[in-house]
Amino acid sequence: MSSYRTVVVGTDGSAPSLRAVGRAAEVASASSARLVIVCAYYPTDPKELERAADQLGDEAFQVMGSAPAQDTVQTASDTARKAGATDVETVASVGEPVSVLLGAAEKHSADLLVVGSRGLNTLKGRILGSVPSEVSRRSDCDVLVVRTSR
């Protein structure tokens, strides 16, 4: 495996995404690389939040809120440091996950982009899209899809 200088990982705060953060931290640590943890979010007003929660149920946290995004990246940073990463940066950006992740990878000159494999089926999946498949298809750098559904 090549040595990476910058690893970007996406998280939405879920347990599966934190497993991907842990794996990204291990890779970053082994390569003495910088780890950039990214959380995409949409700011919403209370009425939109309620409607989205009704539609998405437990998955609503993946597309809403701004303050939770800061908590999400802080928790992910703690997870990454426990897994061995020492040079950790966090980013919470407004936008849809694929664009935010690809933008962060480009901005930080990432050599590796890490995402979790957790897939969403049915209506939720169509609304949220498949982040791993889109990132893999569109990324200009290596992509590691971490199996997170175990």
Going residue by residue through the chain, which has 150 residues, state the pLDDT in tens, using 9 for 90 and above.
468 999 999 998 888 899 999 999 999 999 999 999 999 987 766 676 666 666 666 655 555 555 688 889 999 999 999 999 999 999 999 888 999 999 999 999 999 999 998 644 444 554 445 888 889 999 999 999 998 776
Determine the pLDDT at residue 16.
87
Closest CA to 88 of 80, 96, 98: 80
Question: Quick one: CATH architecture of 13-95?
Answer: 3-Layer(aba) Sandwich (3.40)
Determine the pLDDT at residue 62.
52
Q: Which residues of 93-132 are buried (b: 16+ CB within 10 A; e: fewer)?
A: beeebbebbbbbbeebebbbbbbbbbebeeebeeebebbb
Interatomic CA distance for residues 92 and 10, integer angstroms: 10
Determine the pLDDT at residue 122.
43
Look up residue 77 and give its two tokens.
Answer: 């940073």
Determine the pLDDT at residue 120.
47
